[in-house]
A and B are shown apart, each in its own frame.
Chain A
Amino acid sequence: MFLTSAFQMAARQIRRHGMRSALTTLGVVIGTAAVIAMVTLGRGTTARISDEIGKIGRNLLFVAPGAPRHGAAHGRVTAFALEDARAIAREVRGLVAVAPTAMAPVLAVYGNNNWRTMLSGVDHNFLVVREWTLATGRAFQAGEERSGAAVCILGDTVRGNLFVGEEPLGRSIRVANVSCEVIGVLASRGRSTMGEDQDDLVLMPLLAVQRRIAGNQDVGAILVSAADGESTARIQEDITRLMRQRRHITGDKEDDFAVRDLKELADLAARTTGILTTLLAAIAAVSLLVGGIGIMNIMLVSVTERTREIGIRLAIGARAREILLQFLIEAVVLSAMGGVLGIGVGLGGSYLAARALELPFVIDVPIVIIAFVFSAAVGVSFGFFPARKAARLDPIVALRFE
Chain B
Amino acid sequence: MIAVRAELPAPPLVELQGVDKVYGRGDAEVHALRGVDLGISAGEFVAIMGASGSGKSTCMNILGCLDVPTSGRYLFRGVDVATLTHDQRALLRRNFIGFVFQGYNLLPRTSAVENVELPLTYRGVERAERHRRALAALRDVGLEGRELHTAAELSGGQQQRVAIARAIVSGPDLLLADEPTGNLDTARSLELMRLITTLNQERGLTVIMVTHENDIAAFASRVIRFRDGAVVPGKGA
Listed in ascending order, the chain A residues whose CB lies under 8 Å from chain B are 1-2, 4-5, 16, 308-309, 311-322, 395-396, 399
Contact = CB atoms under 8 A, between A and B. Distances in A.
Interface of B: 61, 64, 66-67, 86-87, 90-95, 97-99, 101, 105-109, 118-119, 121-124, 126-127, 166
Given A16-B109, A320-B86, A395-B66, A313 B118 contact: yes
- What are the 8 closest A-B residue pairs judged by CB atoms, nearest first? A317-B94, A317-B93, A319-B90, A1-B124, A316-B119, A5-B121, A319-B87, A315-B99
A16 B98 CA distance: 28
B122 A322 contact: yes
A316 B118 contact: yes
Given A396-B67, A399-B101, A316 B122 contact: yes
A2 B122 contact: yes
- Counting chain A CB atoms within 10 Å of each CB, which of B64, B93, B98, B109 scores highest? B93
Contacts of A314: 66, 90
15 contacts: A2-B124, A308-B105, A312-B107, A315-B64, A315-B93, A315-B99, A316-B94, A316-B166, A317-B95, A317-B97, A318-B122, A319-B90, A320-B86, A320-B87, A396-B67
- Counting chain A CB atoms within 10 Å of each CB, which of B64, B97, B98, B122 scores highest? B122
A391 to B, nearest CB: 10
Given A396-B61, A396-B66, A396-B67, A317 B90 contact: yes
A276 B176 CA distance: 65
A329 to B, nearest CB: 13
A312 B93 contact: no
B189 to A, nearest CB: 21
Given A316-B93, A319-B91, 14 more contacts: A1-B124, A4-B127, A5-B121, A309-B107, A312-B118, A314-B90, A316-B118, A317-B93, A317-B95, A319-B122, A320-B86, A320-B90, A396-B61, A396-B66
B110 to A, nearest CB: 8
A317 B119 contact: yes
Nearest to B178: A399
Contacts of B105: 308, 311-312, 315, 399
A377 to B, nearest CB: 27
Nearest to A320: B86
B71 to A, nearest CB: 19
A5 B119 CA distance: 12
A316 B87 contact: no
B227 to A, nearest CB: 22
- Counting chain A CB atoms within 10 Å of each CB, which of B67, B95, B99, B106 scores highest? B99
A1 B130 CA distance: 12
A320 B66 CA distance: 13
Contacts of A5: 121
A315 to B, nearest CB: 5
Nearest to B87: A319
A127 B191 CA distance: 101
Contacts of B127: 4
Nearest to B97: A317
Contacts of A2: 121-122, 124
Given A312-B107, A396-B66, A396-B67, A317 B91 contact: yes
A303 B119 CA distance: 20
A322 B91 CA distance: 12
Nearest to B169: A316
B131 to A, nearest CB: 12
Nearest to A316: B119
Contacts of A321: 87
Contacts of B86: 319-320
Contacts of A395: 66
A337 B109 CA distance: 23
